[in-house]
Amino acid sequence: MTDGEKSRPTLILASASPRRLDLLAQIGIAPDMIDPADVDETPVARELPRPHAARLAKAKALAVSARHIGSLVIGADTVVACGRRILPKPADAEEARRCLIRLSGRRHRVYGGVSLVAPDGSVRNRLVQTAVIFNRLGEQEIAQYLDSGEWEGKAGGYAIQGLAAAFVRSINGSYSNVVGLPLFETAQLLKGIGYR
- Across 14-145, the runs of DSSP E, i.e. the strands, are 33-34, 72-82, 85-87, 107-117, 123-134
Determine the Cα–Cα distance for residues 66 and 15; give it in Å rounded to an integer: 15
Question: In which element (H, E) is residue 171 found?
Answer: strand 168-172
HSE value, Cβ hemisphere, 13 Å, CA-based, for 51: 7
DSSP letters, 109-142, are EEEEEEEEE-TTS-EEEEEEEEEEEEPPPPHHHH
Judge whether 77 counts as a catalytic residue: yes
Give per-residue burial for 22-43: e unless 16+ CB within 10 Å, then b: ebbeeeebebeeebebebebeb
**Largest Cα–Cα separation, the chain:** 59
Q: Are 76 and 113 in contact (CB under 8 A)?
A: yes
Q: How many residues does the chain have?
A: 196
Selecting among 32, 40, 77, 120, the annotated active-site residue is: 77
Pairing of strands 85-87, 107-117: unpaired
Q: Point out the residues that are catalytic.
A: 77
